[in-house]
Structure 1
Amino acid sequence: MRAPVHEDASRTVTAIYRTLEEQIVRGLLPPSARLPAERQLSELFATTRITLREALGQLESQGLIYREERRGWFVSPPRVVYNPLVRSHFHAMVTEQGRVPSTELLSARLIPANSSVCELLALPALTGVYQIRRTRRIDGRLVLYVEHYLTPAFFPGLLDNDLTHSLTDLYAQKYGIHYGRVRFDIRPTALQAEAALALKVATGSLALHITRLKRDQRGQLIDCDLEFWRHDAIHVSVDVPD
């Protein structure tokens, strides 16, 4: 008696997953390598596109491959290690791990703070804040979309500066401001349209959402960052000292 169709499809999904996983782990499909087109893969495994996509989706959820809109599927590069306890910034963190960072400025403007930002920065209603929107790459790959919200009183003339480099360094060099206490909130999420568009992925793609709320050396709330990382690009690791 022939097995039900759904059981056959499940076996095929498992076979595709294991084949691609093995070739990725053994380096036959190296980091950043582009996979063959879905049509070619479905022909290779003698299956339908629907079954193939289920297997690819499972590989994506494990962080082994990723998809870019209109470009196809790629093998995920190694993750960068992110330690919230280390006082650093994106460019320094990535460079120290032997990778190449870059930042693109999407927009920088003064806007009325929305209710969430007012709550985070303890601001009254209808307060203006600087909003800086940026994307960041590692080895040329888009991995992070971030929105920075800053209290203008601490940073006069900030928008006239080059905002493609470290804001941490800019704060220290131009304003004499250094970070004191920093609060991190980390949770998994699905990307909404704006962040997904910036990262060139489908809306609803998996991501890691990190909110960083920062005080200066005098304990004053100065800014907050809303970071949206591709889930396969980052490994959060915290080594708590004795």
Structure 2
Amino acid sequence: MRDEVPRTVTAICSSLQEQIGHGLLQPGGQLPSERKLSELFATTRITLREALGQLESLGMIYREDRRGWFVSPPRVLYNPLVRSHFHAMVGDQGRLPATEVLSARLQPATADICSRLELAALSSVIQIRRARRIDGRLVLYVEHYLNPVYFPGILDYDLTRSLTELYASEYGIHYGRVRFDMVPTALHAEAAATLRTAPGSPALRITRLNRDQHERIIDCDMEYWRHDAIHVCVEVPE
């Protein structure tokens, strides 16, 4: 009996992988309910969820709270060496980008943000929180922290557009040097709720510290990507 559960999990994983591989389960398509899948494979919900969890960790399927399980679409390619922005990067790959503003306000800067942006103690910072979609799927939760000295009145603009383009068109500011930090992480509660998944779900956190053409530190972005939505691909020129 102890060997039965691993064999069942393996069989479920193999069956669903085969269906996905042959295109019978389409990217973005919804799987049958857990009840129906349990009946199909003649197993318990616990065993089924173990199999689904393994496929999720491989990036083949994903779960949305109160909606169910879905086949993961192809990952978007992300090259940090290419100067671009979310809408251009996604659109150039034939995908449909969208951005939703969750909140935008001037607030006290945390000690961490003061350190990153080289602000004095008890400084204010502009925080913009956004959710981003690819082909309608929520894939990215991002927090932007802007030095308000460089962006007066920015909260009055349409913040669903590219900040890169907004900086250039309205403030004459262009990105210069950028520092990237990428680490696997677990989604905190706010990010998980935005992406409609469970807190603690695997993610890739990309933190960008941005300087402008005058070498001034202007902002910091903290991106939380669903782990199955992104493929970091870097080609270093000779």
Normalising by structure 1, what TM-score?
Answer: 0.98
Aligned pairs, number: 238
Which residues in structure 2 correspond to 1:207-218 (within 5 Å)?
207-218=203-214
Aligned-pair CA distance for 1:28: 0.7
Query: What is the rounded CA distance, in whole Å, between the counterparts of 2:31 and 2:225 in structure 1?
Result: 22
What is the identity, as a one-letter code, of the residue corresponding to 2:160?
Answer: T
Check if 1:147 corresponds to 2:143.
yes
Check if 1:39 corresponds to 2:35.
yes
Which residues in structure 2 correspond to 1:187-206 (within 5 Å)?
187-206=183-202
Query: What is the rounded CA distance, in whole Å, between the counterparts of 1:210 and 1:119 in structure 2?
Result: 18
What is the identity, as a one-letter code, of the residue corresponding to 2:149?
Answer: A
Query: What is the rounded CA distance, in whole Å, between the counterparts of 2:193 and 2:168 in structure 1?
Result: 32
Residue aligning to 1:86: 82
Aligned-pair CA distance for 1:25: 1.2
Query: What is the rounded CA distance, in whole Å, between the counterparts of 2:200 and 2:29 in structure 1?
Result: 24
CA deviation digits over 1:188-232, x for unaligned, max 9?
Answer: 111010100111111111110000000000100000000000000
Residue aligning to 2:219: 223
Residue aligning to 2:180: 184
CA deviation digits over 1:17-50, x for unaligned, max 9?
Answer: 0100111111110101100000000110010000
Normalising by structure 2, what TM-score?
Answer: 0.99
Query: What is the rounded CA distance, in whole Å, between the counterparts of 2:133 and 2:173 in structure 1?
Result: 26
Residue aligning to 1:16: 12
Identity of aligned residues (%): 71
Residue aligning to 2:52: 56
Structure 2: 5+ residue stretches without partners: none
What is the identity, as a one-letter code, of the residue corresponding to 1:21?
Answer: Q
Query: What is the rounded CA distance, in whole Å, between the counterparts of 1:29 and 1:190 in structure 2?
Result: 28
Aligned-pair CA distance for 1:118: 1.1
Check if 1:128 corresponds to 2:127.
no
Structure 1: 5+ residue stretches without partners: none
Residue aligning to 2:166: 170
Aligned-pair CA distance for 1:6: 2.3
Instruction: Give the ranges of 4+ consecutive aligned residues of structure 1 lying more than 4 Å apart after TM superposition.
Output: none
Residue aligning to 1:74: 70
Q: CA RMSD in A?
A: 0.5
CA deviation digits over 1:138-186, x for unaligned, max 9?
Answer: 0000000000000000001000000001000000000000000000000
Query: What is the rounded CA distance, in whole Å, between the counterparts of 2:199 and 2:112 in structure 1?
Result: 22
Residue aligning to 2:157: 161
Aligned-pair CA distance for 1:119: 1.4
- Secondary structure at 2:200's aligned position in 1? coil
Aligned-pair CA distance for 1:122: 1.3
195, 213, 232: which is aligned to 1:236?
232
